[in-house]
């Protein structure tokens, strides 16, 4: 109870199924993964280091090639060969290292938001419509409550929490349906973590499905609507938020390790 009270989690009614991953295999660490995420739901992925959590998100997003399995988004089976395919369909990733992989840290906030959306902002001759760009940037800043000195400021000038908001905001401008967070609060202070939790709540209110990888047990327990647990590249169990405890998660996260120990 104490853990869950630390997180500003909101309660919403679960909507329709948005993302369905069936029998996904990719390399050694993604083995026969099956999971569903619903509209306005935060699905946490728990597990120990090396369990295959990040590898699973990379395979879903198209960074790593899948060997088999299907990914269905809002009832449509997707063909994802690369991240561009996923983004085009409304499936996006906020990576663990936001400075290296999520932002062009030396570019302005405006440029970071506009760059992935140039197809929406340019005319037939490839010229950016500045009014459309201004409106898009202003809407992202307003909707996600990004604290900044101005849109021309470098992304490096923002706090960790606000940088993460820009990472997500540039994708929301594309009307994305699913946002995958990989370790979204790693390396940021407590105040910035609260900003990330508020951001995830905002996505939830908008009906966006959230897939959420975290190594912090209190975070997974306090902020997920459901939790799937991985061990050795496989999902070993699923828990509703009200059923989940640290002990149950650790039992599932070490299921194969315990089996191997007994066999030895």
Check: CB of residue 226 under 8 Å from CB of residue 35.
no
Contact status, residue 220 vs residue 191, Cβ threshold 8 Å: no
Q: What percent of the chain has pLDDT over 90?
A: 72
pLDDT of res. 261: 41
What are the structure tokens assigned to 54, written together? Answer: 């990040």
Taking residues 156-162, report their average pLDDT. Answer: 90
Confidence at residue 30, expressed as pLDDT on a 0 to 100 scale: 97
**Residue 101 three-state SS:** helix
Task: Show Cβ contacts of residue 143 under 8 Å, excluding neighbours closer than 6 positions.
Answer: 169, 172, 202
134-172 burial code (b ≥16 CB/10 A, e <16): eebbeebbeebebebeebeebbeebbbbbbbbbbbbbbb
Q: Quick one: pLDDT at residue 189?
A: 81
pLDDT of residue 132: 96
Cα 130 to Cα 219: distance, rounded to the nearest angstrom:
40
Give pTM, 2 decimals. 0.87
Instruction: Report the alpha-carbon distance of residue 229 to residue 80 in Å, rounded.
Output: 25
Q: How far apart are CA 43 and CA 37, in angstroms?
A: 6
Kindly give the pairing relationship between strand 209-213 and strand 226-231.
unpaired
pLDDT of residue 10: 78
DSSP 154: B
Residue 262 confidence (pLDDT): 36
Q: What would you measure as the largest C-alpha separation in the chain, in angstroms?
A: 67
Beta bridge partners of 128: 122
111-128 average pLDDT score: 93
Q: What is the pLDDT of residue 240?
A: 94
Q: What is the pLDDT of residue 260?
A: 41
Please write the tens of the pLDDT for every residue from 4-41.
556 767 777 778 999 999 999 999 999 999 999 999 99
Cα distance between residue 260 and residue 31, in whole Å: 18
Residue 142 has pLDDT above 70, yes or no: yes
DSSP states of 184-252 as a string?
TTTT--HHHHHHHHHHHHHHHHTT-EEEEE-S-HHHHHHH-SEEEEEETTEEEEEEETTT--HHHHHHH
Q: How far apart are CA 76 and CA 64, in angstroms?
A: 21
Per-residue model confidence as pLDDT tens digits over 50-95: 999 999 999 999 999 999 999 999 999 999 999 999 999 999 999 8
The pLDDT tens digits for 187-231 are 788 888 888 888 899 899 989 999 999 999 999 999 999 999 999
Per-residue pLDDT for 263 more than 60? no
Strand partners, 210: 42, 179
- The pLDDT value given to residue 5: 54
Residue 145, pLDDT score: 87
Q: Which residues does residue 122 pair with via DSSP β-bridges, in sequence order?
A: 128
Residue-averaged pLDDT of the chain:
90
Is the pLDDT at 234 greater than 90, yes or no?
yes
Q: Which of 41-50, 61-70, 167-176 has the lowest mean pLDDT?
A: 167-176
Q: Which CATH architecture has domain 2-103+176-263?
A: 3-Layer(aba) Sandwich (3.40)
- pLDDT value at residue 247: 96
Nearest to 69, CA basis, from 27, 32, 18, 37:
32
């Amino acid at each position: 109870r104490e853990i869950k009270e630390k997180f500003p989690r909101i309660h919403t009614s679960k909507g329709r199924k948005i993302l369905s991953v069936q029998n996904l295999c990719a390399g050694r660490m993604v083995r026969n993964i099956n999971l569903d995420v619903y509209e306005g739901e935060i699905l946490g992925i728990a597990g120990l280091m090396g369990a295959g959590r990040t590898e699973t998100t990379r395979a879903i997003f198209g960074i790593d090639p899948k060997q088999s399995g299907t990914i269905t988004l809002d009832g449509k089976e997707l063909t994802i060969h690369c991240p561009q395919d996923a983004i085009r369909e409304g499936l996006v990733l906020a990576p663990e290292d936001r400075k290296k992989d999520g932002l062009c840290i030396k570019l302005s906030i405006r440029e970071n938001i506009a760059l992935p959306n140039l197809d929406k902002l340019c005319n037939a001759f490839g010229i950016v419509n500045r009014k459309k760009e201004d409106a898009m940037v202003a809407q992202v800043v307003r909707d996600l409550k990004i604290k900044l000195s101005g849109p021309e400021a470098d992304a490096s000038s923002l706090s960790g929490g606000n940088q993460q908001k820009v990472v997500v905001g540039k994708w929301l401008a594309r009307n994305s349906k699913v946002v995958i967070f990989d370790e979204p609060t790693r390396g940021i202070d407590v105040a910035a973590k609260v900003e990330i939790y508020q951001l995830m709540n905002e996505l939830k209110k908008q009906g966006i499905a959230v897939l959420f990888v975290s190594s912090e047990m209190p975070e997974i327990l306090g902020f997920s609507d459901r939790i799937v647990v991985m061990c050795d590249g496989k999902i070993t169990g699923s828990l509703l938020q009200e059923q989940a405890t640290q002990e149950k998660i650790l039992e599932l996260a070490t299921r194969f390790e315990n089996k191997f120990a007994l066999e030895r």
